[in-house]
Structure 1
Amino acid sequence: MRVAKTVLFILGISLAGYALFTEEPSKVMPFVLLILGCFMILKSIDEFNKVKHPYVVFFQVGVGVIAIFASYQAFMVM
C-alpha cells in the first residue's frame, strides 16, 4: 500500500509539473485527475484501517470518486 501511494504521488507530481511546462496542459489534466482519484481512494483505505475518524474516510472516497468521474469526462472531451 505504501509503495502504491508513493508511486502515485510521484507520478501525479511529475505529470502536474509536466503540465506546467508544456504548451497544452489540458492534454495532461485527465491523467492527473485519474491519479488523484486513485491516490485519494488508497488514502481512504489506509485511513479506514486506522479507524480514528470514520467521516474522513467517506469524504476521501467521495473526492476520489468525483476525481475519477471528472477524469472520465475529460477523456471523453479529448
Structure 2
Amino acid sequence: MVTRIATSHIDGRPAFQLDYRAFDTVNGRINLVDDVRRVQPGRYLGFGFWGFTDSQRRVLQPFILEATSRQYRGDIGTLRA
C-alpha cells in the first residue's frame, strides 16, 4: 500500500492513510483506502473504505490494530502501471 498522512474521510482531521489502489491486489481492485488513528500507545482504530461507487465507499468498515514485536516481512505486491 501507499501510506501518507492525509485528511481523514471521516472528520477532515489528519490521519494515517493506507491506500491500496496503486497495487494489483484484491484490495487494490476494490479501491480500498484505510484511515487509521492512534487510540492509545500500541492500539489503533481504523476505518476502511472500499467499493466502486460513492455510496459503497461511504460505508465504514471499522477495525483495530495492535502493536506487535514481530519482525517486518518486507514489501510484497506488484505496483500497478
After TM superposition, the score normalised by the length of structure 2 is 0.23
Tell which has more relative contact order, 1 or 2 (C-alpha 8 A, sep 6+): 1
After TM superposition, the score normalised by the length of structure 1 is 0.23
When you count strand as a share of all residues, which structure comes out higher? 2
